[in-house]
Structure 1
Amino acid sequence: MTERMSAQQYREAVAKPKRGNKFGAKRTVFDDITFDSKREAEVYRDLKVLERVGRISGFERQRKFELIVNGEIIGTYRADFAFIDHDQDGRFRVVDVKGVITRDFRRVRKIIKAAYNIDVEVWK
């Protein structure tokens, strides 16, 4: 006698297991927000504290920048965090939390510098 399986059981049996992040980052939920890594959630928590005590303002998550080359939009970049730092004379800061700086990120960083004259900081 042969065993039969349902279509659902077959799909589950042949389904590929979900791959994790290639850099080992673990998604983390904090304040009902899902972050790409535990470190990013920690930075968010710390920046929210600084905002509450008035050391930073204009705090934004996932700030969108258009990548412009020769007057043409070639894509977009979303920075992890952007804010005005009152400890550094009101300087506008853009921060990306990264464990590994990729070649693509280096390129995007140069385009942001050329288009907006903003240095994207990398916090590890």
Structure 2
Amino acid sequence: LAAVRFAIDIIQPAAKAELGANLKSLNQASAFVCRPRHGGGKLSEHAFGNALDIASFTLSSGRKIDIGPALPEKDAKFLNAVRKAACGPFKTVLGPGSDADHSLHLHLDLAPRRNGGTFCQ
């Protein structure tokens, strides 16, 4: 439900404002996967159904925007707007520039943080 609200309330308006097109779909890299976090024994938020990895966005025009470190300027502005707005509704937001594991997707999760904070990179 959080992902649907986020797509409607944040991603769609950002696509229209930054790219002049409507959002058609989110293309996920991973959602529910029962696995540990990278390099650790603690289960990933994906194991609890609390995380979503977005690999790309498809616009109503059919154009696909892949998430990565070197995007054209308009696409980068769109992704930066989405990423910034994700920090709050989601408690963890990682993507290109965070670390090598998140260089080609946007990771969003609802893991509770100490003092109700967020971890956004």
Per the normalisation by structure 1, the TM-score is: 0.31
Per the normalisation by structure 2, the TM-score is: 0.32
Q: Which has the larger radius of gyration?
A: 1
Higher relative contact order (CA 8 A, sep 6+): 2
Q: Determine which structure has the larger strand proportion and give its number.
A: 1
